[in-house]
């Protein structure tokens, strides 16, 4: 069965924000870890129609957001339900997400930023075809963290 992308509902946003908790270092990605990110995610106007619930077999399995940086570049953010991470689901999910972006937005490139400690995600992104662009420091979760910006040419 394939992934379906539907605009995220408020109920789904609240479920993700308050019930999706990651283990160990990955708790960095809990939405409650950063008030600003949490507030933005829970605000329907901020999310608009570019944050999607990813559904598989009638279950919410991930979320996916798209920002058009320019008319030819889309920046993405994504998260998989914690109990599904680290089990080989990422390749198909990411591939489906890229196909969705290509169909809906027709960009020349897709960018994303990932915390540099998240080697599991970086390995997946590189395997799918993302290339390293640069590292940068960003204040989030009450501290400063290093991130890697990556780019995928469509």
Domain 4-108 fold is: Aminopeptidase (3.40.630)
Query: For 120-154, b where at least 16 C-beta lie within 10 A, e where not — what string?
Result: ebbebbeeeebeeeeeeeeeebeeeeebbebbbee
Quote the CA–CA distance of 109 and 118 in Å, as a whole number: 22
Question: What burial class does residue 2 get, using C-beta atoms within 10 Å of its C-beta: 0-12 exposed, 13-18 middle, 19+ buried?
Answer: exposed
Domain ranges of the chain: 4-108
Parallel, antiparallel, or unpaired: how do β-strands 109-115 and 73-80 relate? parallel
Encode pLDDT of 43-66 as tens digits.
999 998 999 999 999 999 999 999
- In three-state secondary structure terms, 144 is strand
Can you tell me the distance from the alpha carbon of 130 to that of 63, in angstroms, rounded to the nearest whole number?
19
Looking at residue 69, its pLDDT comes to: 75
Tell me: pLDDT of 1 over 70.
no
What does the pLDDT read at residue 93?
A: 95
**Percentage of the chain lying above the pLDDT 70 cut:** 99
Q: Which residues contact 118 (CB under 8 A, 6 or more apart)?
A: 26
Chain segment 2-41, per-residue pLDDT in tens: 899 999 999 999 999 999 999 999 999 999 999 999 999 9
């Amino acid at each position: 069965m394939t992934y379906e992308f539907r605009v995220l509902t408020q109920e789904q946003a609240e479920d993700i924000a308050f019930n999706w908790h990651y283990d160990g270092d990955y708790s960095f990605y809990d939405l409650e870890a950063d008030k600003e990110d949490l507030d933005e995610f829970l605000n329907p106007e901020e999310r608009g129609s570019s944050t999607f619930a990813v559904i598989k077999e009638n279950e919410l399995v991930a979320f996916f957001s798209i920002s058009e940086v320019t008319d030819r570049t889309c920046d993405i953010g994504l998260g998989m339900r914690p109990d599904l991470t680290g089990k080989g689901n990422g390749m198909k999910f990411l591939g489906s997400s890229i196909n969705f972006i290509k169909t809906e937005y027709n960009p020349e490139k897709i960018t994303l930023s990932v915390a540099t400690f998240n080697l599991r995600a970086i390995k997946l992104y590189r395997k799918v075809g993302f290339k390293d662009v640069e590292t940068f420091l960003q204040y989030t979760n009450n501290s400063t963290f290093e991130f890697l910006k990556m780019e995928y040419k469509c």
